[in-house]
A and B are shown apart, each in its own frame.
Chain A
């Protein structure tokens, strides 16, 4: 099913059928798929199971062989400024302080003229490709030969709330499944002991709209992101309750299973009941394997150094990046790490002092990000791991207020980048205008980014659909979107 037949909105794929069943409250969203694998209830009378049976999180075949198996989305919440990071605009420096005619649209509304804030950092060429990168990202600079820059990103909203939803779920309106949900829906998870979709938040808190950013929207909750902490107990309720050691829990679970099996024996056809029994065993296994997976302290010193885990300002993000690599190794499909949380200068939202804001956030993340790319590469994992960097939008080349260096939001043109997972390295595609204000060449709507991510995972962005509210819905919307072929190796 490479190509979906055109104009057939109700093209009923096998997956569509399955989900309609769930919608009817009847499908067995259980885990007996795995049970069968494990031979867990092999002695039980499962033969009576005649209803069609699919486990939503069991691994699924992709539409075509994908290059990437996992995605790490480094979300620069608040919106980093492109002209101060990766979109080199030499002609912007001399305009600093001059008021010029330029159309902008930000938090402060639409304007036709504003005062230019020249880029606050110097750029220099890096790598074989000679890509110009600002002094904010020297470490990332050293990886440019593995990176494809998308300089002409375009989003539909310059307001955080809706723009976050757009970047995460492809729609300005609330209620749609996020990218990670789509990936798990499309591919399932290969590691039953860990959640397939993991979100790591900034230490200052979640982004605005909170859990809506990793929600499964109209899909079942089994596809939603799981918040994972890089320190302490990583997942909600992963730790045994106080005073119940693991050995005790094992015994309790054995008794629970025995009693549940008695109940099941008369209701042998009910796969939901069997799935629930299995879910306790999976939970038990998860309790053992998740802490091991997140134990980054076990990593050797030189690896920690590579990620900037040295007790300095890069420690926190470095820890999360290293954790992400460990999760990728264990088959987690989709990992999102937030740089920035809460409000104002706790994230990249530099309305006031640009230098202070961006120095802080870039300073915290530059080395860890480069460390992640290098580490993935040296392990041969970069080929199958797609790393995405960017915010919900970029920033304007001009000042927001009469004084100061703060830049307002800009959804008309901004930069994101991708690396690994079958993406070409050392390329830059798309252009903004001379000022870096608006995408003018090869404009890429956010949907194109989403389409590219799905495509690299072996999913056809225009065919992967879910039936809801009378329509087959897809991440890329009714309009559809094609992958950005220029960056695909």
Chain B
């Protein structure tokens, strides 16, 4: 049987992937031992109960997710043969066995044991001995110099002042210094001028914009979800502003971690802390996944990956389907980490990820929010009114409907009081202008609320909106289809009340009552009632004790009841199908009132938790293959403590435990990961080049002792980021010239020893900001909703719905700094993407630096660049006058941040002359061309 049936069957269908060529799913079927041991999903055979063997289940194709061989189901006779083979006890001749050549090359690093625990990154840094080099004041230089001396490498001298100031400006605020600032710095003779400038730049609000952007790269910041609809993440920009502010306030890094991971769980969870938890909502999210259960794990996976790579420099995400292939991170650790986040509420569409917060600063966008809200309210109301008017005309014309004079026994509610649903009122607590009672009065800027108004506890009061002040003035309207024969007021007042109808006083009473009373106002109101809109205005005054005011109106004529008539007849009368829309507007309006922006509250993108979920290991990352249950735990290789989790009223407290451990001084890795990032953003490369991977696959540190020392300094300073900037920037190594040195280049071409400062290209944001800055048109307004500067048609047309999500933008807003440009996942501005802006689908620790012809096309021919060149030229004409020499000199001063040399100025003059002579261009045109050229110079986009 083996020779004739089983071996050919296995050979043909199984062995290729399970032993002979490769070993997939850790399953070896080329040896008997392998079959018995099984793979990731479990033992392949059940010798006790052969029929229940996993192998048979797989080949039976019963389970959608587990079908083998993948290429198609085996014929039944072969399946039967397999069953029989197992029953026979798995006869497997030794000579036919193939031992897989799968010597796991990394077996030595994937186990959690004493050896792997002693990997440099996983054990706590200890105070290194600072090399004894008294010539160097800053310990950083001692560490660096010791290595340079060892390698006999010469260090570059200090860069020139104008180079340094440009370097520092871009480095700390992402903008160049003005010519004035350069001159002042260069001519300053104070020995302390460098450190003073560092301090000055660190206190600039633009510092947060530059360093916040670094952080946004790491946390995959984007304002849309990606995928088919690339739906908006409303209010995501508030997280961006949180980050910018956090850097500007120099928020201690441990606090920064805590707020982002668990701000909602803090005892004093203020608006800021809750905004920070937007961290969990920034990733890609498929609103229509093929497999919803799997999608939930994809969502959590994004959080686990981002958290572990960003804060811990560990690629824990690689252990989702199997133990990490290189690092000592078992799958169990992955799911233990995942369980910290397991209770997070699902990511939803649009507004569903928003949490309302109250902030002392108030709602920054209240003015524009309320305007938008009011506009929408008016639109809805006027749409409804339009319909109602058309309805009335059609209704009266329609002879087939008998016009009833019916007087009902039960009142028709024209305005419902708070014993029912209450009505929507505009109100004010300070005295309005005297026309406030008139129909035409504009009460749009009044507050709005549902009646009744008052304080809780007032007898028989149904308080819907709190009113505590002395006086209240309120207005609302109702609509009449016909003039009713009777009109009654249902009124509860505490205390003095005046009621006006269409400007006329129709009721007045001092003192208070303690229940609703009905007053007939038919006679007094008869001459002011009108069909269509009628306005009721009420003033109530409070002196002592409880307070309350509410009012309703009713009549008995069916004919007056517009709402009732519409309900009854609109379908028939309005044959054009608008009735359905009317009902939708009505529903929208009700919903709209509940969403009125508040001046002190606003909504933020944030996280919440719901319930407590059990987390189980999923074999091969497959939710259908649940394994053992796990509990929140930190990666074992870091020899961590047990997490201390305290349940909180609204959440599990798990994320707090995680954040506190990450930000703890006992954590062996967090501080080093962060100081390495700071170093990387200053020098272009970290001491550990793979700044999000400190594992065995990562690049080893070039200066481990320095890294350890910096990390300890960082923690001792109370995780003070600005202090770290000061420390690093005050070193000689930061101030070095970037010029080549043949001797050093030959020995250390990649500058691993930091013998020089590496040149760098400006980041995509810096390129765009610098162009705007050169033009003098840059708008340095900070914060707020993102802007959408113009984008070429061909880019907009790439979306399935052209330009969807990319709105209009005023020219002033279009000139905002790039950190405020809306970050969409499915579409980017060409200038930014061409210069390697961060990819947002996953965390981006290091940006690329590519040079391709399409950049040049864009920089030369793009509309933005050509428009900018024109305004740059205009600025030159204004500031430098008519003389070409002055114009060129000023232009180069602005783009180089230094005084240009004579030959450079001459080259510019020569160019303009050439353009004029060869192409008979005007002075003005020639300068336009030169301005474009200046913005394309290498020195403009590269830093020394």
Whether A260 contacts B937 by the Cβ 8 Å rule is: yes
Q: For B925, what are the chain A residues with a Cβ–Cβ distance below 8 Å?
A: 243
Q: Interface-forming stretch among B611-619, B631-639, B902-910? A: B902-910
> Contacts A7-B105, A206-B800, A222-B850: A156 and B290 contacting too (C-beta < 8 A)?
yes
Contact status B106-A220, CB under 8 Å: no
Residue B842 interfacial (CB < 8 Å): yes
> Are A210 and B827 neighbours in the complex by a CB distance under 8 Å?
yes
Is the C-beta of A275 less than 8 angstroms from some C-beta in chain B? yes
Whether B23 contacts A237 by the Cβ 8 Å rule is no
Which residues from A are CB-within-8-Å of B591?
none
**What separation, in Å, do the CA atoms of A56 and B852 have in the docked complex?**
10
Considering only CB atoms, which chain B residue lies closest to A242 in the complex? B866
**With contact pairs A162-B290, A272-B849 given, residues A229 and B794 touching in the complex (Cβ less than 8 Å):** yes
> Cβ of A99: which chain B residues have Cβ within 8 Å of it?
none
Q: Mark B666-699, 1 if CB is under 8 A from A, else 0.
A: 0000000000000000001100011011010101
In the assembled complex, which residues on chain A have CB atoms less than 8 Å from the CB atom of B919? 245, 247-248, 251
Other-chain residue from B284, B289, B692, B794 in contact with A227 (beta carbon distance below 8 A):
B794
Which of A158, A251, A275 has the largest number of chain B CB atoms within 10 A?
A: A251
Could you tell me if B827 and A279 are in contact, using CB atoms closer than 8 angstroms? no
Say yes or no: B861 contacts A48, CB within 8 Å: no
- Is there an interface contact between A445 and B70, defined as CB atoms closer than 8 Å? yes
**Structural contact, B750 and A268, CB atoms closer than 8 A:** no
A161 near B792 (CB under 8 angstroms)? no
Q: Which of A18-26, A79-87, A140-148 contacts B (4 or more CB under 8 A)?
A: A18-26
Contact with B along A227-256 (1 / 0, CB 8 A): 101000001111111111101110110011
| With known contacts A7-B105, A471-B315, A221–B849 Cβ distance under 8 A | no
Complex Cα–Cα for A229 and B792 (A): 13
- How far is A241 from B911 in the complex, measured between Cα atoms in Å? 19
Rounded to whole Å, the gap between the CB of B543 and the closest CB of chain A is: 64
B806 to chain A, nearest CB (A): 11
Closest Cβ of chain A: how far from B163's Cβ, in Å? 12
Give residues in A with beta carbon < 8 Å to B.
5-10, 20, 22-27, 29-31, 48, 50-51, 56-57, 152, 156-165, 172-175, 192, 195, 201, 205-212, 217-218, 220-222, 226-227, 229, 235-245, 247-249, 251-252, 255-256, 258-260, 262-264, 266-270, 272-273, 275-277, 279-280, 282-283, 286-287, 341-343, 411, 439-445, 469-471, 478-480
Q: Please name 29 pairs of A and B residues whose Cβ atoms are closer than 8 Å in the assembled complex, sorted by A.
A: A25-B846, A48-B742, A56-B850, A165-B227, A173-B286, A174-B284, A174-B841, A222-B852, A236-B794, A236-B795, A236-B858, A237-B860, A238-B857, A238-B861, A241-B863, A244-B929, A248-B921, A260-B939, A283-B856, A283-B857, A286-B853, A286-B857, A343-B800, A443-B70, A469-B692, A470-B693, A470-B697, A478-B321, A479-B24
The answer, yes or no, to whether B915 is at the interface (CB within 8 Å) is: yes
Residues on the A chain within 8 Å of B318, using CB: 469-471
B685: A residues at CB distance < 8 A: 24-26
Chain A residues with Cβ under 8 A from B855's Cβ?
279
Interface contact A174-B846, CB-CB below 8 Å: no
Whether the Cβ atoms of A252 and B932 lie closer than 8 Å is yes
Q: How many angstroms from the CA of A247 to the CA of B24 in the assembled complex?
A: 61
Q: Are the C-beta atoms of B857 and A174 separated by less than 8 Å? A: no
What's the minimum C-beta distance from B301 to chain A, rounded to whole angstroms? 9
Indicate if the CB atoms of B800 and A174 lie closer than 8 Å. Answer: no
The answer to whether B749 has its CB under 8 Å from any CB of chain A is yes
Bound Cα distance from A205 to B799, whole angstroms: 6
Instruction: Determine which of B72, B227, B904, B914 lies in contact with A209 in the assembled complex, contact meaning CB atoms within 8 Å.
Output: B227
Q: What's the dominant secondary structure at chain B's contact region?
A: loop
A283 and B853 contact, CB distance less than 8 A: yes
- Measured between beta carbons, the chain A residues less than 8 angstroms from B699 are 20, 24
Q: Count contacts on B: residues with CB < 8 A to the other chain.
A: 117
**Contacting residues of chain B (916-944) with chain A, CB-CB under 8 angstroms:** 918-919, 921, 925, 929, 932-933, 936-939, 941-942
B856 close to A279 (CB less than 8 A): yes
Report yes or no: B759 in contact with A174, Cβ–Cβ below 8 A.
no
In-complex Cβ contact of B73 among A245, A255, A440 (8 A)? A440
Chain B residues within 8 Å of A, Cβ to Cβ:
21-24, 70-73, 100-106, 226-230, 284, 286, 288-291, 298, 305, 309, 315, 317-318, 321, 324-327, 684-685, 689-690, 692-693, 695, 697, 699, 738-740, 742, 745-746, 749-750, 758-761, 792, 794-795, 797-802, 825-828, 830, 833-834, 836, 839, 841-842, 846-858, 860-863, 866, 903-904, 907-908, 910-911, 914-915, 918-919, 921, 925, 929, 932-933, 936-939, 941-942
In the bound assembly, the distance between CA atoms of A470 and B911 in angstroms comes to 50
CA distance in complex: A239, B860 (Å): 10
Q: Closest A-chain residue to B316, C-beta based? A: A470
Residue contact B851 to A31, C-beta cutoff 8 Å: yes
Beyond A7-B105, A159-B290, A220-B848, is A262–B903 a contact (Cβ under 8 Å)? yes
* Chain B min CB distance to A179 (Å): 17
**What residues of B have a CB within 8 angstroms of the CB of A241 in the complex?**
860-863, 866
With contact pairs A25-B849, A210-B798 given, residues A469 and B315 touching in the complex (Cβ less than 8 Å): yes
Besides A31-B851, A442-B72, 6 other A-B contacts (C-beta < 8 A): A6-B23, A29-B851, A152-B72, A259-B907, A283-B853, A286-B853
Taking a contact as CB atoms closer than 8 A, the residue among B229, B759, B830 that contacts A237 in the complex is B830
A280 with B860: CB separation less than 8 A: yes
| Chain A, residue nearest B220 (CB) | A175
> Which residues of chain B have C-beta atoms less than 8 A from A279's C-beta?
851-853, 855-856
Contact of A443 among B72, B742, B746, B833 (CB under 8 A): B72
> Residues of A contacting B228 with CB < 8 Å?
159-161, 164, 208-209
Q: Inside 8 A of B289's CB, which chain A residues have their CB?
A: 157, 159, 162, 172
What's the Cα separation between A311 and B125 when bound, in Å? 73
Chain B residues with CB under 8 Å of A480's CB are 22, 24
Q: A255-B910, A469-B309 are in contact. Are A267 and B861 (CB under 8 A)?
A: no
Could you tell me if A26 and B858 are in contact, using CB atoms closer than 8 angstroms?
no
Q: Which residue on A lies nearest to B683, using beta carbons?
A: A25
Q: A255-B910, A267-B759, A441-B72 are in contact. Are A207 and B849 (CB under 8 A)?
A: no
> Are A51's CB and B284's CB within 8 A?
no
Contact residue among A175, A205, A211, A276 (Cβ-Cβ distance under 8 Å from B938) = A276
Contact of A217 with B841 in the complex, beta carbons under 8 Å: yes
| Among B284, B847, B862, contact of A175 (Cβ-Cβ < 8 Å) | B284
Residue of B834, B849, B862 contacting most chain A CB atoms (<10 Å): B849
Distance in Å from the Cβ of A375 to the closest Cβ of chain B?
A: 27
List the B side residues contacting A263 at CB < 8 Å: 937-939
Q: Which A residues are in CB contact (< 8 Å) with B841?
A: 173-175, 217-218
State in angstroms the CA–CA spacing of A138 and B749 once bound together.
62
Whether the pair A212, B825 counts as a contact (CB closer than 8 A) is yes
Q: Does A24 lie within 8 Å of B937, measured CB to CB?
A: no
Give the CA-CA distance A126 to B101 in the complex, in Å.
48
Could you say which residues of chain A place their CB within 8 Å of the CB of B759? 267, 270, 272-273
State A409–B836 Cα separation when bound (angstroms).
37
Q: Is the CB of A267 within 8 A of B740?
A: yes
